[in-house]
Amino acid sequence: MRKLFQLSLLLVVIAAACTKKESSSSESKSIDPAIAESVARGQLVYTQYCIACHMKDGLGAPPMNPPLAGTSFMKGDKDIVINVVLKGMSGEAVDGQKYHNVMPPLDFLTNEQVADVLTYVRNSFGNNESLISSEEVGAARNKK
Amino acid sequence: MPAKKLSLYAATFFIATLFFSCTDGKKTTSTSDTGLTVPEGFSAKIMADGLGKARHITVTPKGDMYVRLAEAKDGKGTLFLSESNGSFSVKAGFGDYGGTGISIKDGYLYSSSNQEVFRYKLDANFQVVDAANPEKIVTGLIDRAQHETKSLVLDNQGNIYVNIGAFSNSCQEQDRQKGSLGMQPCPILDSAGGIWMFKAAQLNQSYKEGVRYATGLRNVVGLDWNQELNQLFVMQHGRDQLHDIFPDMYTIQQSAELPAECMFAIKQGDHAGWPYTYYDPQQKKKIIAPEYGGDGKKEAGNEYIDPAVAFPAHMAPNALLFYTGDQFPAKYKNGAFIAFHGSWNRAPEPQKGYFVAFQPFVDGKPSGDWEVFADAFSGSAENTASGRADHRPCGLAQGPDGSLYVSDDVKGAIYKIEYKK
């Protein structure tokens, strides 16, 4: 019961944080110049390789392609999203919802491109997460 | 004085010109309280709303409607709607399976899940006799998430035609992967990527009992039996992502405009070209797919059929209906209505579709240009461009009085479009 209470409190806090974030654009994150620079580079990668399926607003194209905005994937373990980009994904539900299309592996992107595009996505569309570095991508890629 | 007279004359002429250009046939539209725009003389109203993901629909000779839902709600995947006081209310629901296909033929209601086809005996009022015990007509059809819906239609010789969509975009070794080449020959075509024919009254058929009636069709959602020609017509969802997969060969803009969404008139044994070719509406040619050695220009051979009509790319034709009623003006008779569900694969270019189109036919052949018949399902031009549509047309049905019904699978609205003489 107490756990449930804590969980719902957490959800409320997350929801509040999310709604607050929506009004502020990614530029307001200039507090951390490293993130801001990565976001700027990542947006170019996103426009070239991701936008066709996940759309300009990051809301995807349900029921074909899942959203990136506000999903647990983006809030979760960095390695999971790094691996989704490197290895692709199919048949897996995103927040309980299944999507029809497969995501192809984008392993032809450099470690820096993967890091930038994920940092962009994790700091856009209402998402507000930490930076992913090219070293982290490199480590995940080598783990295999 | 003459100068004044002249300018008055000019002004009158100008206004008259303006008036005539505005009332010029198909361009004139009237807006009704549904928010839809329809041609002059037509009106649209909402008959039901909030039904769920309303896919295909069929109207009985008594004017009642069956609606297929993509996902069953409270164990009910098919809804039975009855009209009273000018709107539909849900009278019953049955069938604990989601799906798209639904059709009435010779005293039975046929409906499909994403793997099977069932039929229910109807009584004299076209109501289902035993909703809990349908006959299973077809089973074991491939459902691999992508292009999984099984649209269906029946002919007049006791056959049922079922779409089995390809579980792939373009039959690459790695689906949708940049640069990945096509499998040769495409093994998917053995069990999907075509229309299969089964006996309408035989139980438990699967691939072994069925006939691959037509192949090379990536995914068909809208299909109809043309009664005038006694022939199957289908609308194909064309391939996606030419730019994403072959960025050196196709620009983002080309990728948004290629390939055409095609209507095909089908004869048994036809090959419509997928995944080896696609139809380029600008060049008006069948072009070899880049996965199979194409370069955007090389033409494909005549072993593949030509489209009957080519529509703009990616608009997702989800329903096809040949109009056989007498209510609408003569030009609509035996012509084709197509419900375009609306695109996603045009981004970052603006999205398109979210309307019902009409393609005139004369003597069984497409005649003249297609036109937008009912528009503004999305709610606004911005919603259309972003793809965030309020409503998306998905199913079409003709009522016994010749009215046209349209279903929406976003909010579950049913629209009725009528013509007042």
Please indicate whether, in this complex, the C-beta atoms of A100 and B244 are within 8 angstroms of each other.
no
| C-alpha distance from B94 to closest chain A C-alpha (Å) | 24
DSSP code at position B30: E
Assess B178–A contact: CB distance below 8 Å, yes or no: yes
Tell whether the model's pLDDT for residue B5 goes beyond 80: no
Phi/psi of residue B18, each to 5°? Answer: -60, -45
- The residue-averaged pLDDT of B275-284 equals 97
Residues of A in contact with B146 (CB under 8 A): 100-102
pLDDT in tens, B382-394: 999 999 999 999 9
- Taking the CA atoms of A49, A92, A70 and A73 in sequence, report the sign of the dihedral they define: negative
Phi/psi of residue A35, each to 5°? Answer: -65, -45
Residues of B in contact with A51 (CB under 8 A): 347-348
Describe the strand order of the beta sheet including B414-419 as a list of residue ranges.
Answer: B42-48, B414-419, B404-408, B393-398
pLDDT at A44: 95
> Which one of B55, B71, B142, B146 would you mutate to disrupt binding with A, by most A Cβ within 10 Å of its Cβ?
B146
Mean pLDDT for chain A? 83
Helix axes A33-49, A111-121, angle to 10 degrees: 100
> Which one of B344, B386, B388 would you mutate to disrupt binding with A, by most A Cβ within 10 Å of its Cβ?
B344
Please indicate whether, in this complex, the C-beta atoms of A102 and B241 are within 8 angstroms of each other.
no
Instruction: Using pLDDT thresholds of 50, 70 and 90, give the confidence band for residue B31.
Output: very low
Nearest to B380 by CA among B23, B37, B22: B37
Tell whether the model's pLDDT for residue B211 goes beyond 90: yes
- Classify B413 as helix, strand or coil: coil
Report how far residue A28's alpha carbon sits from residue B169's, in angstroms, rounded to the nearest whole number.
39
**How many residues appear in chain A?**
144
pLDDT at B29: 52
> Which one of A85, A94, A102, A103 would you mutate to disrupt binding with B, by most B Cβ within 10 Å of its Cβ?
A102
Report how far residue B347's alpha carbon sits from residue B336's, in angstroms, rounded to the nearest whole number.
28
β-strand pairing of B336-340 with B317-322: antiparallel
Residues of B in contact with A56 (CB under 8 A): 347-348, 386
Neighbours of B281 (CB within 10 A): 18
Q: What is the pTM of this model?
A: 0.88
Tell whether the model's pLDDT for residue A21 goes beyond 70: no
pLDDT at B22: 36
Instruction: Using pLDDT thresholds of 50, 70 and 90, give the confidence band for residue B68.
Output: very high
Kindly identify which residue of chain B lies nearest to residue A92, measuring between CA atoms: B145
- DSSP H or E stretch at residue A75: helix A72-75
Mean pLDDT for chain B? 93
Tell whether the model's pLDDT for residue B145 goes beyond 90: no
| C-alpha distance from B67 to closest chain A C-alpha (Å) | 20
